[in-house]
Amino acid sequence: MKKSWTLTEAKDIFSLPFLDLVYRAQSVHREHFEPNTVQISTLLSIKTGSCPENCSYCAQSAHHKTGLKKEPMVDVNTVIEAAQKAKAAGSSRLCMGAAGRGPNDKDLSRVCDMIREVKKLDLEACVTLGMLDADQVKTLKAAGLDYYNHNIDTSESFYPNVVTTRTFQDRLQTLDLVRQEGIKVCCGGILGLGESNDDRIQMIVTLANFPTPPNSVPINRLVKIPGTPLSDQPEIDPFDFVRTIALARILMPSSHIRLSAGREQMSDELQSLCFLAGANSLFLGEKLLTTQNANPKRDHNLLSRLGLKTGH
C-alpha cells in the first residue's frame, strides 16, 4: 500500500541538517531516476489576461492593474509553430496555459485541435485551463492530452490568503476528475507568497498523499509582478527553497520535480543546489506565460557546465 505521510514525519525531514537533507534527497533521486538527466518542457500562453479569478500573485487577474494586454485565444497555427520551435530546442512537452476560471465550449474545442497538432509532432501535450467538469475532462482525454496542470499553490490553510474566488476543495475536485480519467497530473505550487515553512511542508504532504502523487510537481518561486498585491513580497530564504525541493523529492520519489517560474532571478549556484536536492525538470524558452524565463543560452550553458543531459 502507498505510504501516507504525516506532517510530523515531513517536518522532521525538512528540519534535518541541510547537508543530511540534500544527501538523502539525492540518494532517493538516484534510486528512481537517471541522475544527470533533466526533462524539458516549454510554455505557451494560448489565452492571456482579463481573468476573473483574483490570485494575488498573477499578472493575468483582472482584479489587479498590471498593464497586461488581453489576448484572445491564439489560433492553431501559432501553436504548431511554437511546438516546432520547442521540439528543435530539445523540449519533450508543450504546456499550453489559458487565463480564466475554466474553458467554454468554443475554447475547449480549439484546445483539442491544438492537442492533436502537438501530438502529431511527437511532443507530449499539457494544458492548464482552470476548473473542469467531468465531460470536459473526457473531451480532453479523447483528444489525446497527456498532462493537465492544476496547482494547489500553497497549504489549504494559507490558500484563502492567496485567492478567494475559488476554494482549495475546488482545486482538489478538478484534480480528482483528471486523475480518474487517466490523464497525468501536473500539480505543485508557489513559494514566496508570504507562507511559512509549515505551509510549504503541508503543501508537499498534501501532494504526496494524493491517491497517486502527481506525475509532475512544478515548484515556482514567486515572480513579483508590479501592480499585484504581492509585488513587494520579501524574498524566500534560498535554503528554505532548496529544503522544500528536497522534501518534495523524498516524499514523491518517482515524480518529476520541476524547477519552474523564478529561475531568471536565481543564480546558477542556487539552481544547481536545487538539482542536487532532486529537481529534474525545467521550463526552457524565452518566456514563461507573461514574464521572461531564464535566457535559453544561459540555460544551455548551465546544463553543459553541469554535464546535465536532456531527456525523460
Q: With respect to ligand SF4, which residue has the nearer C-beta, 41 or 271?
A: 41
By CB under 6 A, residue 190 contacts ligand SAM: yes
| Residue (of 53, 167, 56, 66) closest to 99 by Cα position | 53
Give the chain's radius of gyration (CA, Å).
18
Q: With respect to ligand SF4, which residue has the nearer C-beta, 177 or 277?
A: 177
116 vs 75, 79, 225, 274, CA distance in Å?
13, 11, 33, 34
255 vs 127, 160, 207, 236, 301, CA distance in Å?
18, 27, 11, 24, 26
| Residue (of 241, 142, 257) closest to 208 by Cα position | 257
Scanning the structure block, which residue is given the C-alpha cell 475554447? 107
By CB under 6 A, residue 140 contacts ligand SAM: no
Cα–Cα dist 120/128, whole Å: 20
Q: With respect to ligand DTB, which residue has the nearer C-beta, 10 or 222?
A: 222
By CB under 6 A, residue 199 contacts ligand SAM: no
Q: With respect to ligand SF4, which residue has the nearer C-beta, 51 or 132?
A: 51
* Binding to ligand DTB in span 251-270, by CB under 6 A: 260-261
Q: Which H or E run contains 120?
A: helix 105-120
Residues 201 and 247: beta-carbon distance below 8 Å: yes
What type of residue sits at position 290?
A: T
Query: What is the closest distance, in whole angstroms, from the C-beta atom of residue 158 to ligand SAM in the complex?
Result: 13
Of the ranges 24-32, 137-145, 194-202, 283-291, which one interacts with ligand DTB (CB under 6 A)? 283-291
Bridge partners, 185 (sequence order):
148
* Binding to ligand DTB in span 199-218, by CB under 6 A: 218
Q: Is 274 a catalytic residue?
A: no
Q: Residue 103 CB: number of other CB atoms within 10 A?
A: 22
Of the ranges 24-32, 145-153, 175-183, 293-301, which one interacts with ligand SAM (CB under 6 A)? 145-153
By CB under 6 A, residue 41 contacts ligand DTB: no
Contact track, ligand DTB, 122-161, x by CB under 6 A: ------x--------------------x-x----------
Residues 216 and 281: beta-carbon distance below 8 Å: yes
Q: Is 112 a catalytic residue?
A: no
Per DSSP, which regions of 101-242 are E strands? Answer: 124-128, 147-149, 184-186, 189-191, 216-221
Of the ranges 175-183, 207-215, 268-276, 287-295, which one interacts with ligand DTB (CB under 6 A)? 287-295
Cα–Cα dist 257/40, whole Å: 11
Q: Is 187 a catalytic residue?
A: no
By CB under 6 A, residue 59 contacts ligand DTB: yes
Residues catalogued as catalytic: 51, 55, 58, 95, 126, 186, 258
Give the residues lining the site for ligand SAM (CB under 6 A). 57-58, 97, 99-100, 128, 130, 150-151, 153, 190, 220, 222-223, 225, 261, 289
Which residues of the shown chain bind ligand DTB in the complex (CB under 6 A)? 43, 59, 95, 97, 128, 149, 151, 188, 218, 220, 223, 260-261, 288-291
